[in-house]
Structure 1
Amino acid sequence: MTKQFDSVWLREPRQPKASGLRLDHIIGAAVEILDAEGLESLSMRKIGAKLDAGATSLYWYVANKDELLECVLDEFWGMVEVPESDETSWRAVLTAFAYNFRDTLRAHTWAASLIGQLPSMGPNALRLTDRLRRAYIRAGFRGVDTYLASGTVMSYVLGVVTPEIAWAKTYGTVDINRDVIVQMMEQVTGDYPEMMADYRKETPIDPGAARAMAFDFGLLCLLDGLEHRLPGGSGERPEG
């Protein structure tokens, strides 16, 4: 059966009760638990205990856990910094967004599981979306291409970071010992000596540097491709 679309952002927010407990307190506590223990460990009971409040008191602000997670996801979008598009070149805006989005995802890995699962309709998400929209329009994108371009950059960052998060969840760290990987590959690449030689020669020894190089290379290629699709390939909309 198809799930009916609903969102915490589609109803009027509740005013704080006299107890002093506020929605931002609940969101803050949820983020702390998520950062420390992960998405699977989050519960209304734990949040209530952290705030020294009964779990039922949380339901004054949110109807259920999904509504709380929507609020938490919007808090995440508020952490992703994006320069003002009217003051910076479109490529600089998107580069800053991509790197800040990447860093924020890596710092709050639980968000990767919520993006796409829950609607992003809160004030922080809308503010970020509009700032990016203006950057794409300033570049020269029009109509649906504006949102297709934005989705492409968003998907690129998610596509790079999500495997890192999965690896870290399984092995406890994103760092991979290159020597160990080389030894493992040597056992299975007997039919591909040239590929193995390339790997030994070309891949950086430091895994962090390798990830940074790969992210930068992919982002530059992506932005070059988007610029190529603009009228005249100039990247900036002509004045007037």
Structure 2
Amino acid sequence: MVTAADRAKGPARASVWLGGKVTRTRRTDQPAGLDLDKITAATVRLLDSEGLAKFSMRRLAAELGVTAMSVYWYVDTKDDLLELALDAVMGELALPGTDEDGGDQDRSGDRDQGRSVDRDQDRSGDRDQGQSVDRDQDRSGGQGAGDWRVQLRRLAAGYRSILVRHPWVSPLVGVFLNIGPHAVKFAAASQDVMRHADLPLRGQTGGLAAVFQFVYGFGTVEGHFRDRCARAGMTQDEYHRHAMGGMSEQPSLRRTFEQAQDVMAARGGDTVEEMRERDFDFALDLLIAGIEAKREAGEGPERGSAAADGH
């Protein structure tokens, strides 16, 4: 509960990027080799391996082989570190306009894009960002990498991969402002892509919300499902068969299960990964088609101004 005394001190600091203590240099009595980048990288590793609920400054200090007070020299609170970690993983995204859309690979310490994709391939079968881009170009009628549709799909696929590789990210989105340098670059790139879609200014934020809220929900569920399967010691396909078998045996669920069989068969795909990819691709196609329909219906900036002039 926020007390009157707390309010009198001013509003709570909204972000580590807005005035929090972030110290990059070490004191002479601090452990050699310890710095903020290493602390942030260790935070990401712990969050990936143990999850958000188990993360603590004490656990982080043990991982680094230092005292908790050594960590507090660099940041004020655990929340500060969570914000820094959140922005660090956003640095894994490939953004349009960078070298081969590869991003600044050294901006995330030793976690470069190549290794991120390798990890994703290990967890996701044959799904990687390169194949996603190939599919995007096929669906876009051979449009080049500079086309806004291809770029939007690329950003969507990248954001989804972040949510899947790092399931702890989704609970933090909205808790923090997420205005670190990597997140701001991603937001700017997304806005630039949407401007090239020729939607009017009043509709561009809605277009971005439609795409990235969908990706957020899809990637969050996917990431949690992967974790659930891993905790159960099963592959995704094994878990899926186990769950479907259990549903088919329950009288209260049997009718719903049987009705869903035709839809699932029509969707196609022999594995959970394949079914998921088909759903994601089709849903994203629908969203992009909606943006195109809005533009073609005369709601682009030039048509809108012409209509206002009575032409």
Which TM-score applies when normalising by structure 1? 0.85
Q: Is the 2:94–2:155 Cα contact (8 Å) retained in structure 1? A: yes
Relative to 1, partners in 2 of residues 1:196 and 1:58: Cα closer, same or farther, differing over 3 Å? closer
Give the aligned CA root-mean-square deviation in angstroms: 3.0
Mean CA deviation greater in 87-96 or 178-187: 178-187
Partner residue in 1 for 2:156: 98
Q: 1:161 to 1:21 in 2, by over 3 A?
A: same
Q: Say whether residues 1:6 and 2:6 are aligned partners.
A: no
2:284 corresponds in structure 1 to: 219
Which residue in 2 is equivalent to 1:170?
228
Q: Which one of the candidate residues 20, 23, 26 is aligned to 1:17?
A: 26
Matched residues, percent identical? 31
Aligned equivalent of 2:177: 119
Structure 2: runs of 5+ lacking an equivalent:
3-10, 99-144, 304-311
| Deviations 1:92-120, CA, capped at 9 Å, x for gaps | 11100111111222111111111112110
Aligned to 2:248: 185
Q: Which residue of 1 aligns with 2:41?
A: 28
- Is the 1:31–1:72 contact (alpha carbons within 8 Å) kept by the matching residues of 2? yes
Distance 2:176 2:55 in 1: 16
1:75 to 74, 82, 88: 88
Q: Is the 2:201–2:301 Cα contact (8 Å) retained in structure 1?
A: no
Contact 1:90-1:139 within 8 A present in 2 as well:
yes
Partner of 1:156: 214
Whichever residue aligns with residue 53 of structure 1, its letter is: V
1:132 corresponds to: 190
Q: Is the 8 A contact 1:82 1:97 kept in 2?
A: yes
Shift of 1:226: 1.6
Identify the range of structure 1 (220-229 vs 19-28) with the bigger mean alpha-carbon deviation.
Answer: 19-28
Structure 1 equivalent of residue 119 of structure 2:
none
Preserved contact between residue 83 and residue 176 of structure 2 (Cα < 8 Å): yes
**Which amino acid in the other structure matches residue 23 of structure 2?**
R
Cα 1:15–1:164 shift into 2, 3 Å: closer
Q: Separation in 2 of the partners of 1:211 and 1:101?
A: 16
Length, aligned pairs only: 238
**TM-score, normalised via structure 2 length:** 0.67
Question: What whole-Å deviation, never above 9, does each CA across 1:188-224 have from its counterpart, x for those lacking one?
Answer: 4655697255157435331110001001010100111
CA drift of 1:56 comes to 1.0
